[in-house]
Structure 1
Amino acid sequence: MTVSPPAPSSVPERPRVFNGSTTHGPRGIRPLRHPAEIPLLWVSTAVTATGILAGLALAVWLITVPDSTGLAGNVRNYLVSTGTTKNLLAIPLLPLSVWILRAFLYARQRARSVQMSPTQFPEGYRMVVEAAARFGMRRVPDAYVVLGNGVVNAFAAGHGFRRFVVVQSDLFEIGGSARDPEALRFVISHEVGHLAAGHVSYWRTLILQVVEFVPLLGRALSRAQEYTADNHGYDIAPAGVPGVMGLLGAGKYLGAQVNLHALADRAVYEHGVWVHLVQWVATHPILTWRAYALRDRRSPGRLMARPKAAWYPPVSPVGRASSASWPSPAQVLSVLRSTRVRVPGAEEQFGRYPGVTYAVGPNALRLADPVPVPLDSSDRGGAAG
């Protein structure tokens, strides 16, 4: 089938260096942008420019001042002894290295992946095109499916002015045989959101390569970008949130058993220095905080501070509590015998598999009140019998 190009009058201006990937301009859709992202980007830009200029100046100085004594000699000896000479001298070459790596990544998808199209995975491709239209992208990005081998992941990237998204097969299956198309729509919209927000531009990629080595700063910018992409995903597929959070926490089959409220409320109950440290050094928001941010839309995501208001009480021990307060096995078994889950039959389902019909829909499990209820007399009699 041949797809005719649109009439010239309907084609928006092509992407250029300063006009951004979308018709909304370089800043994208501002309500969907995490408020901390642009300030972090400006700081990261200043750090990157300083680092590249300093590396270039150092390289020129060491080359033009061959004196092996004095200050130049001491600096040269220190760099050689610590093994950092090659890394510092490579900083001026970083812009070229980033360009080459982006070209190779794009070529690898073109050579080794299955490309989505109107005749190849058209359902997923339509999700890509609809997200691109929703976010005002100037051109439809390429979309590829790659062999996952058990890994559940997706990413967005680009080369030059070309943009593309890649979905690994194990994740892509959630919109097919596992049948949670809204979860897949959220994932695809999240990745197209990265493109629309300018996260994969050459300059943004270069900046992230440098500030990755700056404690806290690079990871904070990366997390802010993920929150922004989540806001794009939610804008198109809010119904996909429970499925995606379950998918990221328990995989494509067991993910249907994950209760969104129980997961999100742990962002409130599980806190302390060590939990925050895990968040601060992560490139993506930790799962509990991310689930809470997607559930509570009064705030466009969290970055450094955990949420404070829980929707439901904890139903299991909290890690920050003293071990003296943790129940014994006998106590927990007593609770299990005297209570039941709120969705009958949920405890008998061990994941969702293709070709199997389940009496309880996944959303009944994902969005139920996570607090168990006491058994009534008839339940007790049945259990005893």
Structure 2
Amino acid sequence: MERTTNEVRREIRKVRHKGERPIYWVMFAINSIIWLGIIIVTIVVDNIDDFSEVVENADISDLLEGLDKGFAFLMIAYIIVLFLCVLYQAYAKELSYSVKVTSKNFPEIYEKSVEFARLLGLKKVPEVYITQQNGILNAFASWVLGRRYIQLNAEIVDIAYMENKDFDVVYFTMAHEFGHQYFNHPTLLHNFSILFARIIPLVGPMYSRSQEYSADRVAQVLTEDMGIRCMAMLTVGRHLYPYVDVDDYLQNIYKKPNVLERMARWIVNLMTDHPINPLRVRAIVDPEKKSGRLI
């Protein structure tokens, strides 16, 4: 029976990482306070009489003299323009060095992208591009004004068309990126709203890890696949993953580490944008679909 958009969305709401939204609002508040501080400082500076005398002998006195109430807003405009330039530069690279997935080029992937967009209720089907990346197994979701797009590295697509005739792993990878699009993770508004907070050590990476867990859950809902083979592929590569004994792999994942091993994993996970593989695998195979561990 064909699933509806409402059914899929209801299921996704249940399995989205529980920490993602609370962390976002904390980061949003921090970001807002920083912006407010910038605005207040520029206004105060503008109203100090003979400000250059206050900072007499300072190298930046001439610069500070020229500050006015519009400085913060000019700064915001500058950052937005800079963001857009970076986003469009990345999109230009896709147009220049990638093959766009269409009904004629990689039609299986195109049809699946249309299906995912329908299930998620996206107004437009995100464009999908395939790019050769010298063996790197990766994919990402991005955004420019008026359109969303996803890059699949050719090394992953090889799995479906050449290496193992395994479309399921490719679909799970793609569905993960559709999850990011569904939650608007790549958009300018989302990233600008947490711009300064995102660079705070520990906080930024922790929020990113929650996003990855959420995207994994979307992939599971869209593909109705646990995703363990995809994780095996990302771990040992596209050539070896079919030979991984899943039961033995999971047994080692669930094996209780000693104190030193636990500390080492904790440190690595604390600083990375993606959950470390043992935590990520444990989350995707959890039959109760609980939220993955952030720390």
* TM-score category (smaller protein): 0.7 to 0.9
Give yes or no for contact 1:56–1:91 (8 Å, CA) kept in 2: no
Partner AA of 2:238 in structure 1 = K
In the other structure, the counterpart of 1:288 is 278
Cα deviation, residue 53, structure 1: 3.1
Cα deviation, residue 32, structure 1: 3.5
Partner AA of 1:94 in structure 2 = I
CA RMSD of aligned residues (A): 3.1
- Could you say what secondary structure the match of 1:164 adopts? strand
Structure 1 length as normaliser, TM-score? 0.63
In the other structure, the counterpart of 1:52 is 35
Give yes or no for contact 1:142–1:165 (8 Å, CA) kept in 2: yes
Partner AA of 1:32 in structure 2 = V
In the other structure, the counterpart of 2:142 is 157
Change in CA separation of 1:240 and 1:129 when aligned onto 2, cut-off 3 Å: farther
Cα deviation, residue 71, structure 1: 6.9
| Aligned length, in residue pairs | 274
Change in CA separation of 1:239 and 1:57 when aligned onto 2, cut-off 3 Å: same
Alignment of 1:43-122 (within 5 A): 43-59=26-42, 61=44, 67-68=51-52, 70=54, 92=76, 93-122=78-107
In the other structure, the counterpart of 1:352 is none
In the other structure, the counterpart of 1:320 is none
Cα deviation, residue 50, structure 1: 2.0
Cα deviation, residue 238, structure 1: 4.3
In the other structure, the counterpart of 1:184 is 170
Q: Is 1:211 equivalent to 2:197 in the alignment?
A: yes
> Whole-Å Cα distance in 1 between the matches of residues 177 and 30 of structure 2?
27
> Whole-Å Cα distance in 2 between the matches of residues 297 and 74 of structure 1?
63
Alignment partner for residue 144 of structure 1, among 129, 146, 157? 129
- Could you say what secondary structure the match of 2:293 adopts? coil
> Whole-Å Cα distance in 1 between the matches of residues 104 and 15 of structure 2?
32
In the other structure, the counterpart of 1:235 is 221
Give yes or no for contact 1:189–1:233 (8 Å, CA) kept in 2: yes
- Could you say what secondary structure the match of 1:165 adopts? strand
**How far does the alpha carbon of each residue in 1:178-228 deviate from its partner, in whole angstroms, 9 at most, with x for none?**
221111110011111111122122111224542232121111111111111
Question: Which one has more relative contact order, counting CA pairs under 8 Å at least 6 apart?
Answer: 2
Percent identity at matched positions?
A: 24
> Whole-Å Cα distance in 2 between the matches of residues 182 and 277 of structure 1?
33
Give yes or no for contact 1:29–1:197 (8 Å, CA) kept in 2: no
Which piece of structure 1 moves more, 228-237 or 102-111? Answer: 102-111
Alignment of 1:291-330 (within 5 A): 291-305=281-295
Change in CA separation of 1:260 and 1:292 when aligned onto 2, cut-off 3 Å: farther
Higher helix share: 2
> Whole-Å Cα distance in 2 between the matches of residues 27 and 203 of structure 1?
24
Structure 1: gaps (5+ residues)? 1-21, 81-87, 306-385
Q: Is 1:201 equivalent to 2:187 in the alignment?
A: yes
Alignment partner for residue 266 of structure 1, among 241, 245, 253? 253
Cα deviation, residue 296, structure 1: 1.1
In the other structure, the counterpart of 1:310 is none
Cα deviation, residue 141, structure 1: 0.9
Cα deviation, residue 242, structure 1: 2.5
**How far does the alpha carbon of each residue in 1:30-87 deviate from its partner, in whole angstroms, 9 at most, with x for none?**
123211111111111111222233334445555665634547988969xx9xxxxxxx
Structure 2 length as normaliser, TM-score? 0.81
**How far does the alpha carbon of each residue in 1:303-353 deviate from its partner, in whole angstroms, 9 at most, with x for none?**
335xxxxxxxxxxxxxxxxxxxxxxxxxxxxxxxxxxxxxxxxxxxxxxxx
**How far does the alpha carbon of each residue in 1:5-48 deviate from its partner, in whole angstroms, 9 at most, with x for none?**
xxxxxxxxxxxxxxxxx989x99941232111111111111112
Structure 2: gaps (5+ residues)? 65-71
Give yes or no for contact 1:28–1:198 (8 Å, CA) kept in 2: no
Give yes or no for contact 1:193–1:232 (8 Å, CA) kept in 2: yes
Give yes or no for contact 2:283–2:289 (8 Å, CA) kept in 1: yes
